[in-house]
Chain A
Amino acid sequence: MKDSLEALWQRARSEIKESRSIEELEGLRVRYLGKKGEVTALLKRVGALPKEERPSFGARVNALRTDLEGLLEASGKAIHESLLKERVRRESIDVTLPGLPVDPGGLHPLTKALREVLSIFYGMGFTVYESRETETDEMNFVKLNVAPGHPARDMQETLYLTDSTVLRTHTSPGQIRGMLELNGKLPVRFVVPGRVYRRDAADASHYPVFHQVEGLAIDVNVTFCHLKGVLAEFARRFFGNEAKIRLRPSYFPFTEPSAELDVSCMLCRGEGCPACKHSGWMEVAGCGMVHPNVLRNGGYDPRYVSGFAFGFGLDRVTMLKYGIDDVRILFQNDKRFLSQWRGL
């Protein structure tokens, strides 16, 4: 019996060592160490031995069992490792092959720029009022202090729908509609983004359809200094902290005093270049203190409240910000153009 134990030991060890797969090992484990396995069978036979031989035989069988268990585990580990190694080797890929194409969509630069503009004004307490694109002559001109025959009508070549209705030439009628909607409530603080129309032939700097952002703030004690502060803040946040601003007297029938907002030229940093006509400044927005007649037309009493208004071309500031030199490209929608604005 002792002999058969030793033979079994020898056989089991060599079989385990020779096995090459986890399944084979599992078979050997069952065959030798399972409930009906050969080593288990040996243990069962301990009782048949003379009493004095039992302890030593038992110890031998246990040693055999421990040995085989260790061996099985070691072999299992070795096989697992070699299999893993083999798998890794087999599965290696050419990591330099291209990744699968992902073609994300994206927003038009005008939308991106408008969002940036709006978020700046939101931060200063403005909300948005969306006004009409088709307007009455009354709203587009008369209520804005531009009576029939007013020379300012020459400033804007108007597209008419009928004798008394127009495509709005500016977002300014939104001032009147927005004020009327607020019905005398204070403070008034909103911007009007939207499309406007002029009877212009398309060229590098004109397009018959373009976009403006109008702003209006009314309250007791709103002053020219506030106008200056708000526009300076806007310019710095939109064009960058290094942007300098200046207000220069100008004329609009619906504001007085009226001013033109100039921002230091981004291309030459104010030193003068062809883009800014060597002045170092870029004309960005028209603005001013709301004319008393306009306040009255919006239902506010100029004796008690005052306000400022501004308006600028979204297309223009977008072009300035991104360095686009032809407005037509914005409306052409070439894929190679649109794809550039998908990022953050």
Chain B
Amino acid sequence: MTMKVPWNWLREYVDVPWEPEEAARQLTMIGLEVENLSREDLDVSQVVSARILQTCPHPGREDLRVGILDVGEKRFSVVSGAPGFREGNVVLLARPGAVLPGGRSIGVAEVGGVLSEGMAVCSNEVLLGQDPRPHEDIIVLPGDTTPGVPVQELYDLDDYVLDLDLTVNYSHCLSVLGVALEASAFSGRPLVLPEVLKSWDWAGPTGSCRPQPREQGHLSQKEEGLRRPEPFEISIELPDTDLCPRYLGKIVRHVTYGYAPLMVERRLLLAGMRPVNAIVDATNYVMLETGQPLHAFDFDKLRGGMIRARRSRQGESLRTIDGEMRLIDPGTLVIADSSGPVAIAGVMGGMETEVTPDTRNLLIESAWFDPLSVRLTSQKLRLRSEAAIRFEKGVDPTAQGAAAERAACLLAGFTGGQPQAGMAECDRIGDPSKRILFRTAEVDRSLGLSIPEEECRRIFCSLGFDVADLNCRDGEDGQMHVTVPPRRVDIKEEVDLVEEIARHHGFHRFREENLPSAVPGGPPRELAREERLKDLLSSLGGLEVVTSSLLSPGELEALGWDRDDPRGSPVTLKNPLSSYESCLRPSLLPGLLQVLGHNQKQRARGLVVWEMGRVFFPAKDNLPDSLPLEVKELALASYGIVHQGSWMGEERQSSFYYVKGLVNALLELLNVDSPIYLPRAGMPFHPGKSARIVVGSSTVGEIGEMHPESQINLGLTGLPTMAWLSLEALMGLSGERPYAAVPRFMPVERDLAVVVPEEVPAGAVLDCVRRTGRSLEDVMLFDIWRKPPVPKGAKSLAMRLIYQPRDRTLTEEELSSDRRRILEALKRDFEAKPRV
């Protein structure tokens, strides 16, 4: 939540010993983060006070007058049609050459055939930098103002605004006074309250730390002497005290509609609110000042002489001040008169009872509404007004009376209205202040710094908390009862008080200390192995990618997983931001394909990537709290050129066999037994170029080229090929391979070529050779030949057999007999013939 605090306004309550920049830093360091400090000096030049010496009618136009204006050293002839343009008045003159804050330059201009040397200006133009409002009069200064004084000297135009970014616990700082109190506590300077606010119970029940009263300021000049007893004409009923336990109505009679004083308008603007009219501005001003939102009803439009804060009934509706007819959900807290709702409590008022230029009498509402109720209503209606924001965070339950009085006083000044003495109120709130036991030893224990009792006491008092000693028994020093005023809704228990101490003592005063060591740190074994696996994948030439876990259903559909594949029905989100991110990935492959697609668009000639991460499957049972299954997987993908060519050799293309090579190497490095590749038919792979990867009896993953249709749909070329592996399965199968002594005897190589029918899988032949041969270390297929002299429908497989005897040198005889044995087995199993 944000709060804009005009610097001069803040300084009205506390004379902090800092420049604005330093104040921003200090406030930030006690937890009121000043996100931005801006200087608000309106750039007005050549606008000065000027006395109208005489006026005469404009020769051409009835609505204008021509006046002679004196600025001391010079006189100007000026044309104006404003009502305030009268002989004897002191006004503000924009001299020729003046530039108004909105950027408008003033010169000598002809108005209806008469030259006007400059212009008499109104407040919106010169003080707020905006266009004049309809029928806005020019500024008329007090009669004793010296002519020729620049506007900057007349008004406090040089100001700063502190943009506070408040955390939710500092709702008590959603007011200029709240911020002033924090600044006063931290700087040690006294807080100075306007007279009328002194009734506000700032210091809790005993008031031992009550701030000092303030001299009357310019906004409170008319606060006194306007009270005149009159009978109440409104009754207040609170049937739903859980949502509204306190409601005060202050009646102000005989108001005249108009604009608020300039400085009020300027402050509202600086604080981020738009000036509207004197009445609304007064309520807003008090809200910004005290944090208590107020609402002004046109008293004469309320029916039945009564106000009820109650839950709405079925079918009730209200036209709100933004002109919209709103159907109110039953149970919403509304303010009603005898005819029905007149406001949605704390959120927005009704149009029918709002203040208009014809309004004569007001009812100022000052109430406490349940934070959650206001929050839900404002969310539902999507109306997040300044008032709603404050109610949502919890307003001070003791501020209502003082705020209503304050507004009444301001209204008396702004509108000439007459506040009716006392106010109608209904109050079902108990004593909301809290008494908490505080032990200084707790500060020591959790903060690691021993802060003296007096310092704690000083901090509490400066924050307006009331401190009472405990009856000391058994030498329990450093204990006290702290009574916290109700505005501090964030403080509920001792730890909250400890925080106040830490914050106001200053975080910078705590040492940096090392944790006591002697605790062995480091990764758990599984994590260490996973990290090692990432290194292996990198060493095999793949680039690691990190892709989103949120997918669009479309992306999954494009891959066309079979209906019975769990990957075809992913976990879906209840409130996705968009359908593009509405389900949880059941596979890493869609993410990798996106990566291939992106890089192909960027004209990368090829890519080898991998990702390790979690995929999600729906929970097995359907209990409301069941969580989806989270499974770690690993996936690889490649397309295009996976090994660059050069002047010495050809480039290598992505293919099923390239990825298979990667998978095999990885499994070998993980010490997993050799996998078998069982042909697999089904999406998302090319039916003729895909396989299940099986180790022992379990499927650990799949591999394949993308289905041609998906290739076309996704616009991918370059034989995009992918594989995924279950990390859990791999880690389970992966073991430590015991050290084998390096053989003392040299290996022997023999080549063997056999001709087999085309349909015989090469893998089966190699397996047979491996099983049959003795002392065989490795069998490598190095050539396949299908041309003459090999007959049609057959292929020749050329293999290199590498023998590694452990205990002796193999004789030629042993080698030949092994060759015979292998050939016999191949002949028996595959009708293989030796190729000659």
Question: Contact flags (1/0) for A292-305 with B, using CB distance below 8 Å?
Answer: 10000000000000
Count class of interface residues, chain B: 35 or more
For the complex formed, measure the closest distance between the CB of B202 and the CB atoms of chain A, giving whole angstroms.
Answer: 22
In the bound complex, CA of A62 to CA of B644 (Å): 67
B105 interfacial contact with A, CB 8 Å: no
Chain B contacts for A277, CB-based, 8 A: 35-36
Answer whether A331 and B534 are a contact pair too, CB < 8 Å, given A223-B446, A228-B512: no
B510 interfacial contact with A, CB 8 Å: yes
In the bound complex, CA of A306 to CA of B446 (Å): 6
Q: Report yes or no: A201 in contact with B544, Cβ–Cβ below 8 A.
A: no
A126 interfacial contact with B, CB 8 Å: yes
Q: Report yes or no: A249 in contact with B539, Cβ–Cβ below 8 A.
A: no
In the bound complex, CA of A314 to CA of B572 (Å): 26
B28 interfacial contact with A, CB 8 Å: yes
Q: Report yes or no: A335 in contact with B447, Cβ–Cβ below 8 A.
A: no
Chain A contacts for B538, CB-based, 8 A: 104-107, 342
Q: Report yes or no: A155 in contact with B168, Cβ–Cβ below 8 A.
A: yes
For the complex formed, measure the closest distance between the CB of B592 and the CB atoms of chain A, giving whole angstroms.
Answer: 9
Q: Report yes or no: B447 in contact with A330, Cβ–Cβ below 8 A.
A: no
B832 interfacial contact with A, CB 8 Å: no
Chain B contacts for A50, CB-based, 8 A: none
Answer whether A105 and B549 are a contact pair too, CB < 8 Å, given A122-B523, A151-B392, A226-B513: no
Segment among A17-25, A68-76, A229-237 that sits at the interface with chain B: A229-237
Q: Report yes or no: A226 in contact with B602, Cβ–Cβ below 8 A.
A: no
In the bound complex, CA of A136 to CA of B227 (Å): 58
A284 interfacial contact with B, CB 8 Å: no
8 Å CB interface, A145-184 against B: 149, 151-152, 154-155, 159-165, 167
Segment among B136-144, B354-362, B428-436, B499-507 that sits at the interface with chain A: B499-507
Q: Report yes or no: B507 in contact with A249, Cβ–Cβ below 8 A.
A: yes
A316 interfacial contact with B, CB 8 Å: no
Q: Report yes or no: A189 in contact with B646, Cβ–Cβ below 8 A.
A: no
Question: Contact flags (1/0) for B588-614 with A, using CB distance below 8 Å?
Answer: 000000010011001010011110011
A46 interfacial contact with B, CB 8 Å: no
B679 interfacial contact with A, CB 8 Å: no
Chain B contacts for A199, CB-based, 8 A: 575, 577
8 Å CB interface, A235-253 against B: 246-251
Q: Report yes or no: B448 in contact with A224, Cβ–Cβ below 8 A.
A: yes
Segment among A26-34, A84-92, A108-116 that sits at the interface with chain B: A108-116
Answer whether A247 and B507 are a contact pair too, CB < 8 Å, given A134-B630, A333-B547: yes
Q: Report yes or no: A225 in contact with B447, Cβ–Cβ below 8 A.
A: yes
Q: Report yes or no: B521 in contact with A154, Cβ–Cβ below 8 A.
A: no
Chain A contacts for B602, CB-based, 8 A: 334-336
| The one of A98, A110, A135 that contacts B646, using a Cβ cutoff of 8 Å | A98
| The one of B513, B575, B614 that contacts A223, using a Cβ cutoff of 8 Å | B513
8 Å CB interface, B483-521 against A: 493, 495-496, 498-499, 502-503, 507-508, 510-521
In the bound complex, CA of A208 to CA of B649 (Å): 45
Chain A contacts for B522, CB-based, 8 A: 122, 127
Answer whether A256 and B604 are a contact pair too, CB < 8 Å, given A121-B521, A124-B521: no
Question: Contact flags (1/0) for B440-483 with A, using CB distance below 8 Å?
Answer: 00000111110000000000000000000000000000000000
Chain A contacts for B510, CB-based, 8 A: 224-225, 228, 247
Count class of interface residues, chain A: 35 or more
| The one of A167, A228, A230 that contacts B573, using a Cβ cutoff of 8 Å | A167
Question: Contact flags (1/0) for A273-293 with B, using CB distance below 8 Å?
Answer: 000010000000000010110
Q: Report yes or no: B445 in contact with A105, Cβ–Cβ below 8 A.
A: no
Answer whether A128 and B527 are a contact pair too, CB < 8 Å, given A103-B541, A155-B168, A224-B448: yes
Q: Report yes or no: B495 in contact with A291, Cβ–Cβ below 8 A.
A: yes
Chain B contacts for A125, CB-based, 8 A: 515, 517-521
| The one of A160, A208, A225, A339 that contacts B543, using a Cβ cutoff of 8 Å | A339
Q: Report yes or no: B542 in contact with A98, Cβ–Cβ below 8 A.
A: no
Closest A residue to B662 by beta carbon equals A105
Chain B contacts for A123, CB-based, 8 A: 521
A67 interfacial contact with B, CB 8 Å: no
Chain A contacts for B647, CB-based, 8 A: 97-98
Q: Report yes or no: A105 in contact with B548, Cβ–Cβ below 8 A.
A: no
Chain A contacts for B519, CB-based, 8 A: 125, 187, 189
| The one of B393, B446, B523, B574 that contacts A289, using a Cβ cutoff of 8 Å | B446
| The one of B33, B375, B543 that contacts A105, using a Cβ cutoff of 8 Å | B543
For the complex formed, measure the closest distance between the CB of B582 and the CB atoms of chain A, giving whole angstroms.
Answer: 10
Chain A contacts for B539, CB-based, 8 A: 104-105
In the bound complex, CA of A111 to CA of B543 (Å): 12
Closest A residue to B599 by beta carbon equals A335
Chain A contacts for B516, CB-based, 8 A: 219
Chain A contacts for B534, CB-based, 8 A: 107, 111
A16 interfacial contact with B, CB 8 Å: no
- B496, B511, B515, B575 interface centre (most CB from chain A within 10 Å): B515
8 Å CB interface, A291-344 against B: 291-292, 306, 330-336, 338-339, 342
Chain B contacts for A306, CB-based, 8 A: 445-446
| The one of B518, B627, B646 that contacts A100, using a Cβ cutoff of 8 Å | B646
For the complex formed, measure the closest distance between the CB of A291 and the CB atoms of chain B, giving whole angstroms.
Answer: 7
In the bound complex, CA of A338 to CA of B534 (Å): 15
| The one of A127, A189, A292, A331 that contacts B524, using a Cβ cutoff of 8 Å | A127
Closest A residue to B25 by beta carbon equals A279
A53 interfacial contact with B, CB 8 Å: no
| The one of B517, B540, B546, B573 that contacts A110, using a Cβ cutoff of 8 Å | B546
B221 interfacial contact with A, CB 8 Å: no
Q: Report yes or no: A338 in contact with B392, Cβ–Cβ below 8 A.
A: no
A222 interfacial contact with B, CB 8 Å: yes
Q: Report yes or no: B447 in contact with A223, Cβ–Cβ below 8 A.
A: yes
Chain A contacts for B575, CB-based, 8 A: 159-160, 199
In the bound complex, CA of A255 to CA of B834 (Å): 77
For the complex formed, measure the closest distance between the CB of B566 and the CB atoms of chain A, giving whole angstroms.
Answer: 16
In the bound complex, CA of A187 to CA of B581 (Å): 40
In the bound complex, CA of A338 to CA of B577 (Å): 28
Chain A contacts for B169, CB-based, 8 A: 251
8 Å CB interface, B542-558 against A: 542-550
Q: Report yes or no: B31 in contact with A249, Cβ–Cβ below 8 A.
A: yes
Chain B contacts for A124, CB-based, 8 A: 514-515, 517, 521
In the bound complex, CA of A26 to CA of B523 (Å): 69
Question: Contact flags (1/0) for B525-541 with A, using CB distance below 8 Å?
Answer: 00100010011011111
Chain B contacts for A160, CB-based, 8 A: 573-575
In the bound complex, CA of A247 to CA of B505 (Å): 13
Q: Report yes or no: B627 in contact with A134, Cβ–Cβ below 8 A.
A: yes
A200 interfacial contact with B, CB 8 Å: yes
In the bound complex, CA of A127 to CA of B521 (Å): 5
Chain B contacts for A339, CB-based, 8 A: 543
Q: Report yes or no: B375 in contact with A251, Cβ–Cβ below 8 A.
A: no
In the bound complex, CA of A171 to CA of B34 (Å): 27
Answer whether A225 and B513 are a contact pair too, CB < 8 Å, given A103-B643, A164-B625: yes
In the bound complex, CA of A208 to CA of B583 (Å): 13
**In the complex, given contacts A101-B644, A256-B498, A306-B445, what are 7 additional A-B residue pairs having Cβ atoms less than 8 angstroms apart?**
A105-B608, A106-B543, A110-B546, A127-B523, A160-B575, A161-B571, A229-B513
Top 10 A-B pairs, shortest CB-CB distance: A223-B448, A249-B31, A251-B167, A225-B448, A125-B519, A257-B499, A225-B513, A101-B644, A333-B545, A105-B538
Pull 8 A–B residue pairs with CB atoms less than 8 Å apart, ordered by A.
A125-B519, A132-B627, A133-B614, A155-B168, A217-B515, A223-B445, A250-B167, A339-B543
Residues of A within 8 A of B (CB): 97-98, 100-101, 103-108, 110-111, 115, 118, 121-128, 130, 132-136, 138, 149, 151-152, 154-155, 159-165, 167, 187, 189, 195, 197, 199-201, 207-209, 217, 219, 221-226, 228-230, 232-233, 246-251, 256-260, 277, 289, 291-292, 306, 330-336, 338-339, 342
Residues of B within 8 A of A (CB): 28-31, 33, 35-36, 167-170, 371-372, 375, 392-393, 445-449, 493, 495-496, 498-499, 502-503, 507-508, 510-524, 527, 531, 534-535, 537-550, 571-577, 581, 584, 595, 598-599, 602, 604, 607-610, 613-614, 616, 624-628, 630, 643-649
